Structure 1
Amino acid sequence: MLDHLDAAARLYVDTFTRPPWNETWHLPDATRRLHDMLTTPRAHAAHATAPDGTLTGFAIGHLERYGSADHFLLQEMCVSTEHQRQGIGTRLLADLTAQMPTVTHWYLLTGRDTPAAAFYQANGFRPARLSTVYVRP
């Protein structure tokens, strides 16, 4: 996936600066973020391309040891707005699952009451029962 880093960063900026996210991203910052994720020990990634080779989506995360098992933190997932609702995100999750067939515990952070939350729930994720996210300021 590192060979797609520039395209992934452009896709990331284009996707997350639009609704519903409306975040402020600049290409150098997105490139750094994705590079850091891809070079994390035990990182796993999947990507999707259009027939012309254009990157249409990607997912990145890494394994973390928890007790005697590995858990997978899905850190970022991005599908171009033009290619959403075509099954790409579901295929990205399937590709990651195939890379780590013995990992049964996955987790991620996403906005509550967003299309992303509905997507993840449709793909077998559920809100955590006992955990919450705390932020400082």
Structure 2
Amino acid sequence: MIERLTPAHLPECARLYVETFNAPPWNEAWREEDATQRLKDYLDTPRSHGVGLTSPDGTMLGLALGHRERYGPVDHFLLKELCIHPDHQRQGHGTTLMNALESQLPDIHHWHLVTARNSEAATFYQKLNFRPAARMAVFVRTPQ
């Protein structure tokens, strides 16, 4: 079942986030309290919008979360996170979540996201008609 994410979903979303991003291919080292803070920050962003996919027993299987950004007279949507539990990947759930976001936000003019180049995630987004931006780049700076 698809439902709109609220702060009440944070504990189960944080568990999902940790289980997803601590597993291959990301192999990161998330703690639940850090994932909770990250997702809370996103949910607290003005004009945020997120959806969760739950199993019939209520287990959170996936989430998609981001926020609207005004660009001139139209809204764009910056997708901050999309994750599906490792045991449920490659079953169409990511596409289902993106379709749910699109149907709930029909007035969005452009969709944006940042993901790893040449990755399974990039391939997934390209199948959903995302493409690398022609004029934009992501720059990173670390303290010296």
Identical amino acids, percent of aligned pairs: 54
Match of 2:51 in 1: 46
8 Å CA contact retained: 1:46, 1:59: yes
Q: Deviations over 1:8-51 (max 9, x none)?
A: 00110111011111112111110000011011110010110112
State the match for 2:16 in structure 1.
Answer: 11
Structure 1 residue ranges, 4+ long, deviating more than 6 angstroms after superposition: none
Q: CA deviation at 1:104?
A: 2.3
- Checking the alignment, whether the CA contact within 8 Å between 1:72 and 1:103 is kept in structure 2 is yes
| SS of the residue 1:76 aligns to | strand
How many angstroms apart in 2 are the aligned matches of 1:102 and 1:136?
34
Whether 1:84 and 2:89 are equivalent positions in the alignment is: yes
Matched, 1:135 2:140: yes
Is 1:66–2:65 an aligned residue pair?
Answer: no
Which stretch of the first structure deviates more once superposed, 55-64 or 14-23? 14-23
Q: Equivalent of 1:55, from 60, 79, 82?
A: 60
Deviation at 1:67, TM superposition (A): 1.3
Q: Deviations over 1:27-80 (max 9, x none)?
A: 111000001101111001011011211100000000001111111000001100
Residues 66-110 of structure 1: CA deviation (Å, up to 9, x unaligned): 111111000001100111111111010111111110112000001
Alignment pair present for 1:106 and 2:111: yes
CA RMSD after TM alignment? 0.8
Q: Which moved more, 1:6-15 or 1:17-26?
A: 17-26
1:97 aligns with 2:114: no
User: Matches of 1:48 and 1:41 in 2, distance apart?
Assistant: 22
